[in-house]
Amino acid sequence: MAAMTSSLQSMKPAATVCQHKAAIAPAAAPILLQKTAFQGAQLQARQTRRHCLSAVRTSATATVEAPARPTTKGPTSSAPSDKATQKPTVIITGASSGLGLAAARALGQSGDWHVIMACRDYSKAASAAAAAGIPKANRTIMHLDLAAFDSVRAFVENFRASGRRLDVLVCNAAVYLPTAKEPTFTADGFELSVATNHLGHFLLTNLLLEDIQSAPADSLKRVIIVGSITGNTNTLAGNVPPKADLGDLRGLASGVDGRIAPMINGGDFDGAKAYKDSKVCNMLTVRELHRRLHDSTGVTFSSLYPGCIAETGLFRNHIPLFRTLFPPFQKYITKGYVSEDEAGKRLAQVVSDPKLSKSGTYWSWSNDSESFENQVSEEVSDGAKGQKLWEISEKLVGLA
Ligand code: NDP
Ligand code: PMR
């Protein structure tokens, strides 16, 4: 295991690319950013964003299973009575593998839910749904690339055009880039893990809140953002270096002026830390959503740590030795291991169990699979930091 830790600590920056470079016309070649060229410098961000985003828009509409020509501006125009007769609907981001797929299966197979699988790879999601045995009638696959704000907005329009009610949103998708030597920046100009795991979900949640609010009276009305033990430094797992630490958020804040920083705290790029920081953002966002919006909307906001699901695609970018040793380490040494199936049931429980209705909660499970309200770290419980993160994020995603 020392090898795992040292492999994480030895990461050094290397090359930086625009996420959508394959979709960009030759004229846009200069926007393939090199770290040295932009570090601390003002970017031609608007031009970059416009160009990459038009490419994303094309691919998004081409792969949507639901109606592909959205016309609605706010929540769908279907009569409320239509929605009252529909099954409750849950949107799960990143439902093409791992935890998201397992939760989609648990909910889809229950027969009580319609699951919108919000995925960036349509074919992969379709094969995964079929292999998992999620009945076709109980699921819809819709394209969503969380690493592109334009795709998030297109997803929301497409969802609204489908005429479905929305009861629960699960922000589950994530990327973990522990061996990356250089940051990857999205077309919008943000480090890939923070953009995907935090900013994309932040925008999605804000846009879909009004849809959840207008769900029929019997709705559970929930927003769930998947957190992790590794973002909580009040645990042993959270103290494995590199530790999560957003600092004063100066790196993230510099994006408001169009500058690009590889890390939220303004430091040098570290892929493992970027992931853990993004999980801190997820858990801070849940607490801030609760503080700002629970009383006025009646929506329940929660986060969770489902256990260590040591065999998911999350570790696809880790070194082979890690992928071999990590599952037995978690099974026999830390005893933190949980199967995808069990973790999926846990997430499905946070979606559907009327008892798990306390807003602002970070759920965890004991070894006998009993849910309990867990404690978060000092950083995750820092209300001032949560507020600051919210205000910066609103500006970065174009909501303020
Ligand atoms: P997986 O890699 O299996 O699942 C991640 C999902 O996110 C995939 O479906 C992936 O899509 C999707 N995704 C990645 N980037 C994007 C994007 N830009 N747009 C849309 N979807 C995207 O990992 P897990 O199931 O382990 O992770 C799920 C959640 O669980 C994450 O939030 C993770 O932080 C959390 N978690 C995981 C733990 C674990 O031990 N595994 C422990 C604690 C929390 P694709 O299939 O196309 O790659
Ligand atoms: Mg951890 C009780 C101990 C515990 C638990 C529950 C986890 C979960 N880990 C624990 C302990 C340790 N880990 C210890 C003592 C070490 C040092 C040997 C260790 C190392 C380690 C590495 C190198 N652990 C890791 C990594 C990763 O690359 C994973 C990671 O940080 O991903 C972000 C990881 C994880 N350990 C966990 C969990 C749940 C993960 C991964 C998933 C996540 O947080 O999303």
Centre of ligand 1 from the C-alpha of residue 399, in Å: 25
The alpha carbon of 176 and the centre of ligand 1 are apart by a number of angstroms equal to: 8
| Protein residue with least CA distance to atom 36, ligand 1 | 228
pLDDT higher than 70, residue 13: no
What pLDDT is stored for residue 137 in this prediction? 97
Query: Could you say which ligand is closest to the alpha carbon of residue 141?
Result: 1
CA angle 21, 26, 31 (to 5 degrees): 50
pLDDT at 81: 59
Cβ-Cβ contacts under 8 Å for 303 (sequence gap 6 or more): 224, 225, 226, 227, 282, 283, 286, 361, 362, 363
Residue 44 lies in a domain: no
Per-residue pLDDT reduced to its tens digit, 334-354: 999 999 999 999 999 999 999
Question: Please, which pLDDT band fits residue 75 given cuts at 50, 70 and 90?
Answer: low
- Domain assignment present for 28: no
Q: Would you say residue 270 lies in a domain?
A: yes
Substitution site in 334, 342, 347 for ligand 2 pocket (most atoms within 8 Å of beta carbon)? 334
Instruction: Look up residue 288 and give its DSSP letter.
Output: H
Confidence class for position 57, pLDDT limits 50, 70, 90: very low
Of the spans 4-8, 13-17, 152-156, which averages the highest pLDDT? 152-156
In ligand 1, which atom is closest to the CA atom of 226?
A: 32
The dihedrals phi and psi of 395, each to the nearest 5 degrees, come to -70, -40
C-alpha of residue 350 to centroid of ligand 2, in Å: 23
CB 247 within 8 A of CB 237: no
What domain range includes position 207?
83-397
Atom number of ligand 1 nearest to Cα 307: 42
**Phi and psi torsions of 221, nearest 5°:** 50, 85
Measured CA to CA, the distance from residue 305 to residue 64 in angstroms comes to 30
CA gyration radius, the chain: 20
- Whether residue 150 lies inside any domain: the answer is yes
Q: What is the pLDDT of residues 294-322, one digit of tens each?
A: 999 999 999 999 999 999 999 999 999 99
Helix (H) or strand (E) holding 320: helix 320-328
Predicted pLDDT of residue 78: 53
Contact residues of ligand 1, CB 6 A cut-off:
93-94, 96-100, 119-121, 124, 144-147, 172-175, 196, 226, 228, 305, 308-310, 312-314
Asked if residue 59 belongs to a domain, the reply is no
CA distances 184 to 100, 193, 244, 274, 360, Å, are 24, 9, 19, 11, 32
**3-class state of residue 363 by DSSP:** strand
- For residue 11, is it within any domain? no
With the most atoms of ligand 2 within 8 angstroms of its CB, the residue from 198, 276, 308 to mutate is: 308
pTM, two decimal places: 0.87
Q: Give the domain CATH number at 138.
A: 3.40.50.720
Q: Dihedral sign, CA of 283, 284, 288, 289? A: negative
Position in ligand 2 atom list of the atom nearest CA 8: 23
Give me the percent of the chain exceeding a pLDDT of 70.
Answer: 80
Distance in angstroms (rounded) separating the CA atoms of residues 100 and 187? 25
Look at ligand 1, atom 34, and give the residue with the nearest C-alpha: 174
Nearest C-alpha neighbor of 223 from the set 389, 359, 87: 359
For residue 258, pLDDT beyond 70: yes
For a substitution probing ligand 2, which of 240, 275, 376 has the most ligand atoms within 8 Å of its CB?
240
238, 230 contact by CB (below 8 A): yes
Mean pLDDT across the chain: 85
Q: Domain count for the chain, please give it.
A: 1
pLDDT at residue 15, rounded to an integer: 27
Mean pLDDT of 21-29: 25
Q: Which helix (H) or strand (E) holds 107?
A: helix 98-110
pLDDT of 233 > 50? The answer is: yes
> How far, in Å, from the CA of 174 to the mean position of ligand 2?
16
Residue 175: strand pairing partners? none
Residue 7 lies in a domain: no
- 393 domain-assigned: yes
Which amino acids bring their CB within 6 angstroms of ligand 2?
1, 4-5, 8, 176, 178, 228-230, 236-237, 240, 272, 275-276, 308, 334, 336
Residue 263 or residue 58, greater confidence: 263
